[in-house]
Amino acid sequence: MATEQSSTPAAYEKLLEQYERATYLGDANGVLSWDQEVMMPEGGTPARSKQRGAVSAAAHELLVDDDVGAWLATLVEAELSAGKRAAVREIRRQYERKVRVPTDLVEEISEATSDAHPVWQEARGNDDFDAFAPTLERLLELKREYAAHIDPDADPYAVLFAEYEPYLDLDTAERILESLREGLVPLIDAVRDAERDLYSVEGTFPESEQSALAREALETLGYDFERGRLDTAPHPFSSGTQFDARVTTRFDESEPLDSLGSTIHEFGHAVYTQGLPREAYGSPLGEHRGLTVHESQSRLFENHVGRSEPFWAFFTPRFNDRYGTDLTPRQAYEAVNQVYEDNCIRVEADELTYHLHIVIRFEIERELLVGDLDVSEVPAAWNDRMESYLGVRPETDSEGCLQDIHWSHGAFGYFPTYSLGSVLAAQLYAAAERELDGLDSKISAGEFDPLHEWLDDAVRQHGCRYTTDELIERATGEPFTADYFLAYAESKFGELYGL
């Protein structure tokens, strides 16, 4: 009987080899991007833009080569294992999108986003949206052109959304966002009307101590520093591969819980990346399953673990030892779960109002892309919607429409995955609770391995083997639903605020 290796069509071997080379270039570009945001000298942008543009173009050329199309055609009727069929499916999906986009446009977009980063950073620092507006307009034009090449008859936002979430369509995203708005707005109103104030942590907490506690939290939760590192960045993020998954955070000496929450959020991303199959690196089977699933991993650890009462039963003594405070676990639990009335910043938002921040960005991006909103109108539109949806009006553009890094990356269509990921996190955590006896007790004892092992089995080991909806149903036994998140939010905040 022939072995799988010997029976594998030559076309598959050649296709995978070509895809792996493109992957390696893309990962190298990721390191260049990380360096630009974390360590690169301020004057390095002109060269870095050219470097990243050239690498992006080279990776694109590999994936749209005529041979790739020929190999894919050969494999349509080939007998392949389930894993190899999945790899071909993923490569085919990428090829069919990328082959329609000219390489010079890919290179131009890469250079433009690299150029945009310092422009955004300076504009935010100076509270000067007008300084960023021409860059934003250029990126929108490039992304409209990109979407039109892929599908000139489709909603450009839907085309760009599929870059980040290829298997849950835009209708699903809109349905989930609408469910969240309908369920959360009355809950937020009830919380704000409640006659109960939660405990607040006040004082000055040195950055050096916050950094040490962030590192301790990463080590405690299970981050592998031999395959990662912790740094600071203006906008926290994680990036990398299963061999090198890096975390960044930021610090405010008056808000120690924010940096800790940000670090735990990025830990969720990084531990998912570190948990992808190492033997499949370079193949789709060694890649993450889109940003909805990726975000579910970060939100699961940030909210269902890091904002849970069992976690603070375990971690409060470490917090007190670090800062010389005398918090009780209940006080810490309340402090990390306050619902704010006056917060303009998405990354500092509570679990409930966070999703209204996403709705605002979703609406504005869609209007910008189809031309219903002019770039010059963004600050006013942003502020009006913040006031309407959240009851707060930003005093500056830096705490309004300039706060997020995503537009400087050209990442239009990204934001809905944050809410989709939060919803999926609740569904996954509920499944883990059903299957792991005494999960709360394990977390309060600092035992995180059972949860990691469950997530390894349910999510991380599969890479892109399954589509998003298939992975969700395999992991939880049910189709994707917002029911678990809404039930979790009502139960948790109902108890906290005595509703």
* 181-193 residue pLDDT tens: 999 999 999 999 9
Region class of 277: left (phi > 0), else alpha (psi between -120 and 50), else beta = beta
Instruction: Answer yes or no: 266 catalytic.
Output: yes
pLDDT at 431 over 60: yes
pLDDT at 4 over 70: no
**Per-residue model confidence (pLDDT) at position 3:** 42
pLDDT at 5 over 90: no
Summarize pLDDT for 366-411 with one digit per residue, the tens: 999 999 999 999 999 999 999 999 999 999 999 999 999 999 999 9
What integer is the mean pLDDT of 435-455?
98
pLDDT at 47 over 80: yes
Measured between alpha carbons, how far apart are the two ends of the chain, in Å? 67
341 confidence band (pLDDT: 50, 70, 90): confident
pTM recorded for the entire structure: 0.95
**Domain boundaries, given as residue ranges, for the chain:** 4-154, 170-497
**Per-residue model confidence (pLDDT) at position 347:** 87
Mean pLDDT of the chain: 96
**Per-residue model confidence (pLDDT) at position 7:** 64
What integer is the mean pLDDT of 67-76?
97
Chain position carrying tokens 């950094």: 211
What integer is the mean pLDDT of 133-160?
97
pLDDT at 42 over 50: yes
Side by side, which strands form the sheet with 244-249?
230-232, 244-249, 238-241
Cα 166 to Cα 290: distance, rounded to the nearest angstrom:
7
Cα 310 to Cα 442: distance, rounded to the nearest angstrom:
8
pLDDT at 198 over 90: yes
pLDDT at 2 over 80: no
What integer is the mean pLDDT of 103-129?
96
The catalytic residue among 107, 266, 309, 348 is 266
Q: For the structural domain made of 170-497, what CATH number should be given?
A: 1.10.1370.30
Q: Let me know: does 223 contact 267? Beta carbons within 8 Å.
A: yes
State what percent of residues in the chain have pLDDT above 90: 96
Contacts of 330 (CB under 8 A, 6+ apart): 199, 309, 312
310 confidence band (pLDDT: 50, 70, 90): very high
467 confidence band (pLDDT: 50, 70, 90): very high
**Per-residue model confidence (pLDDT) at position 342:** 85
Summarize pLDDT for 476-498 with one digit per residue, the tens: 999 999 999 999 999 999 999 99
Summarize pLDDT for 271-299 with one digit per residue, the tens: 999 999 999 999 999 999 999 999 999 99
Contacts of 12 (CB under 8 A, 6+ apart): 71, 75, 78, 80, 84, 88
Residue 240 three-state SS: strand
Q: Let me know: does 137 contact 375? Beta carbons within 8 Å.
A: yes
**Per-residue model confidence (pLDDT) at position 464:** 97
What integer is the mean pLDDT of 74-101?
97
Cα 449 to Cα 295: distance, rounded to the nearest angstrom:
20
Q: Let me know: does 251 contact 211? Beta carbons within 8 Å.
A: yes
DSSP string, 115-164: HHHHHHHHHHHHT-HHHHHHHHHHHHHHHHHHHHHH-TTS-HHHHHHHHH
Of 365, 335, 341, 364, nearest in space to 353 by CA: 341
Summarize pLDDT for 200-229 with one digit per residue, the tens: 999 999 999 999 999 999 999 999 999 999
Cα 101 to Cα 89: distance, rounded to the nearest angstrom:
19
E strands within 233-316?
A: 238-241, 244-249
Q: Let me know: does 354 contact 338? Beta carbons within 8 Å.
A: no
Residue 349 three-state SS: coil
Cα 239 to Cα 16: distance, rounded to the nearest angstrom:
23
